[in-house]
Amino acid sequence: MAITRRSFLKIAGGSALASATWQGFGCDIWKSAARRNPDIKVIPTQCQGCGANRCAVFAYVRNGRVWKIEGNPEANNNLGTVCPRGHGYIHELYDPHRIKQPLKRNESGGYEPISWEQAFSEISTQLNLIMMDNGPQSVFWLHYPMANAALGFRFMHSLGSPNIFSHGSTCFTARNAAFNATCGGLPGVDLKNSRYTIIVGRNPSGGIKLQQMKDLTYAKENGGKIVVVDPRHSETAIIADEWLPVKPGTDLALILAMLNVIIEEGLYDKDFVKKNTVGFDRLQDEIIAYPPEWAEKVCDIPKDTIYRVARELAANKPTALVHRGYHGGYGASYKNSFQTARAIAIINAVIGNYERKGGLYMPLRPELGELKEGGHPSPDIPQIPKADGSGIPGRYPAGSYSDGITHAIPELALSGELKAGIVYHSNPARTNPNPQRVIAGYKKLDLLVVIDCIMSETASMAHYVLPESFYLERDDNVDTVHSAKTGQLTMVQQVVKPLHDTKNLLEIISGLAQGVGIGRYFTFSLDDLNGYRLKPFGITLAELKEKGLISVGEPWKEGFRKAATPSGKIEIYSEKLDKWGVDPLPRWQEPLVTPDTADPHSFRLLHGKQALQTNSMTVHIPILMEASKRTDSVRLLMNRQRAAAIGLEDGDTVRLRSQIGSGNIRVRLTDGLHPSAVWLPSGFGIFSRHLTAVYGMGISYNDFCPTYFDPVVGHCMSSEIIVRVEKA
Ligand SMILES: Nc1nc2c(c(=O)[nH]1)N[C@H]1C(S)=C(S)[C@@H](COP(=O)(O)OP(=O)(O)OC[C@H]3O[C@@H](n4cnc5c(=O)[nH]c(N)nc54)[C@H](O)[C@@H]3O)O[C@H]1N2
Ligand SMILES: Nc1nc2c(c(=O)[nH]1)N[C@H]1C(S)=C(S)[C@@H](COP(=O)(O)OP(=O)(O)OC[C@H]3O[C@@H](n4cnc5c(=O)[nH]c(N)nc54)[C@H](O)[C@@H]3O)O[C@H]1N2
Ligand SMILES: [Mo]
């Protein structure tokens, strides 16, 4: 391991000293003095430095300038903290890269500023022509699903198109579909109270979720054990009691073997299994095929470790859990990711931890009020199947209507099925696999409109670019993202007036709606909409704006009642999957590709989050990029022994080649990585020529990833990449 216990203690000791000195400066006194300063306004809002967590924060404004944000201590997702990306992201407000007015592409490929009126009029004229010739389903909408996602659905449903997409097929759709099939939704994890936590391919310290890190450290301080299963010694592994360096793509074998031990040795929760699950007996029949003796040869974790960890997990039941994961391990990574996630949902059921303290629970999402109750009827859902085949038996049966398959868009554009698209808060040219193919597809569209704050790779291809006001400049939709064991309402609230000629999403959509004949669906203001959303709780918009966060509803109570599955129980065996021709029980399945063991240059290419950057959206922010440079993090991790075998030294530049792409990067050698893989931080590889300061900085795993669709949900299998690595 790269980090020995001694060196870890040294680091930990060092930072304790640093924070003691910081306290000595009287930082808290300074902070409370700042709060009392009448020149300083403190306005609650919601950070948008990543779409995933949307932390509730307080923005500090002096002389009309925002200079910092602080975390809201009551917020479930961040518990008073802000991550480096959140601190860095406020600088985008004043960033010269921002789009300052609507832009139209000219003949020579450059952009010219136009008025909003001209943009709305020309875009709607072109949409009308395209829909007249090809039908409304030839128009698609792609968004990062934020609090305002319902507006995109409303717009598309009013037009009559079902072709709405999120980035899910590149992030989480395997996991979501598996938990939906098993327990009818995506549970939360009570890490704080768990006595024994196994985290498989999730890294809340680098793929940041602040509340989870706080909960993990709390549990650890109180004697809980943490086991991290990751081919890489991740930032979360640093605080774990145990790191299991699994062979990438084989977690399914590990979980099946743990199920084997727990079931064969009778360590499961018999009462819970009997009352609340279906199909346990069929799992019991099949699981004998997967003993730890078999699994160790597949996943590289010794059989004795598998026996011990399985027994320890069961011994702590039901106050124990296997994390529900997110992206890296099985969100959209491998051909077997759907079944890996199913096995993880099932192992939690077998130890009876659903709706138990220290286990899994369904977050208490408050039911927001709807526009239709305010006299604004919803458009009908179009009775046309989605063009990508998601949710259609025989194609991608477990795919979801609301996420779709985002990386199918370029294929559907190339085939002529999709003709026009609006992309909101998403950057598929950089975040989808196989960029050459993505660019070819998006370029073939007759009309591409991108709504962003900067000239992303995708915006740089658009016919029209519409600038949304930055989050600190706008109000947005009331949000429930913080809901966990309590329901919580938050919102993005305007902190300063827009600096440029920009609008919020509702204003942009309403502007387009008039010209395409669906204006009657958009006759409300954002304040109206938020008022309807809040109505069921008897809370006014003014109250929410003042407090920034309000908890609503009854708090969570222990006790499993009913799952939102066809049987009302947790489905260990799934009839529905069987009907679709998908394995109804998790069974071992190889990943799609395997490195060539005879070739010392052959590796699997893995990727992952780094604490300083978000997806493709922050690298151009100078303070964050500077931090990445100072920590020298634009590097490819490689196992030290494997590097030695091909004559590489730390810092050497290597050339990576896959079946679809190539690129150069410096290596960082480590003992903390499974020898079969190399690992790339996922924020770099920016190729928008408009982002001059970071153009060409680093490479992205997408440059190497072929266009794949897994057969169950159509996700992109972003870790099924083999690369040859040679000294450049
Ligand atoms: N700093 C930062 N935080 C973020 C984001 C960001 O861009 N930057 N993005 C947000 C978003 S959109 C998401 S989806 C989440 C993602 O959050 P995570 O899923 O936690 O993040 P990842 O880094 O993608 O993957 C987690 C770990 O999976 C490991 N892994 C890779 N392959 C395998 C495997 O085969 N088996 C196992 N067991 N482990 C494997 C990686 O080494 C990595 O350490 O993070 C969110 N938070
Ligand atoms: N290269 C690369 N590819 C990835 C990943 C990665 O880390 N790196 N991660 C994978 C995962 S886990 C995910 S979730 C997806 C995410 O993929 P995307 O959905 O493409 O998300 P982001 O990369 O976060 O890009 C969001 C875009 O929204 C813009 N934006 C930011 N704030 C606002 C705003 O307030 N309004 C508007 N209108 N636009 C805004 C940003 O400038 C950026 O262009 O990518 C997947 N693919
Ligand atoms: Mo994600």
Q: Taking a C-beta distance cutoff of 8 angstroms, is the pair 321, 198 a contact?
A: yes
What would the mean pLDDT of 538-563 be, rounded to a whole number?
97
- Residue 10 pLDDT > 70, yes or no? no
Q: Each residue of 220-247: pLDDT tens digit? A: 999 999 999 999 999 999 999 999 999 9
Q: What is the mean pLDDT of the chain?
A: 95
Q: Each residue of 281-331: pLDDT tens digit? A: 999 999 999 999 999 999 999 999 999 999 999 999 999 999 999 999 999
- Residue 55 pLDDT > 60, yes or no? yes
* pLDDT at residue number 393: 83
Confidence of residue 18 (pLDDT cuts 50, 70, 90): very low
Confidence of residue 39 (pLDDT cuts 50, 70, 90): confident
CA distance 344 to 354: 12
- Residue 590 pLDDT > 50, yes or no? yes
* Residue of 138 and 1 predicted with greater confidence: 138
CA 634 – ligand 3 centroid, Å? 20
Q: Which of 2-6, 49-53, 55-59, 466-470 has the lowest mean pLDDT?
A: 2-6
* pLDDT at residue number 650: 98
Ligand 1 near 615 CB (within 6 A): yes
Ligand closest to Cα of 230 equals: 1
CA distance 228 to 243: 5
CA distance 181 to 185: 8
Nearest residue to 197 via CA among 332, 317, 51, 39:
317
CA 718 – ligand 1 centroid, Å? 12
Q: Each residue of 477-525: pLDDT tens digit? A: 999 999 999 999 999 999 999 999 999 999 999 999 999 999 999 999 9
- Residue 15 pLDDT > 80, yes or no? no
- Residue 19 pLDDT > 90, yes or no? no
Domains of the chain: 1-36 (no CATH), 103-171+366-552 (3.40.50.740), 173-363+559-579 (3.40.228.10), 602-727 (2.40.40.20)
Nearest residue to 278 via CA among 567, 625, 681:
567
For residue 104, what are the CA distances in angstroms to 98, 107, 142, 447, 510? 15, 10, 20, 11, 19
CA 291 – ligand 3 centroid, Å? 33
Q: Each residue of 357-393: pLDDT tens digit? A: 999 999 999 999 999 988 999 999 999 999 999 988 8
Ligand 1 near 171 CB (within 6 A): yes
What would the mean pLDDT of 117-143 be, rounded to a whole number?
98
| Beta-sheet strands, E only, within 267-327 | 277-278, 320-322
What would the mean pLDDT of 429-451 be, rounded to a whole number?
98
* pLDDT at residue number 600: 98
What would the mean pLDDT of 110-121 be, rounded to a whole number?
98
What is the CB < 6 Å shell around ligand 2? Answer: 48, 51, 144, 167, 170-171, 327, 424-428, 430-431, 451-454, 456, 468, 471, 614-617, 682-683, 700, 702
Strand bridging mode 196-200 / 570-571:
unpaired
Ligand closest to Cα of 333 equals: 1
Q: What do you get for the CA distance between the two ends of the chain, in Å?
A: 27
Ligand 1 near 674 CB (within 6 A): no
Percent of the chain with pLDDT over 90: 93
Q: According to DSSP H, which parts of 613-705 are helical?
A: 622-630, 640-645
Confidence of residue 35 (pLDDT cuts 50, 70, 90): low
Ligand closest to Cα of 167 equals: 2
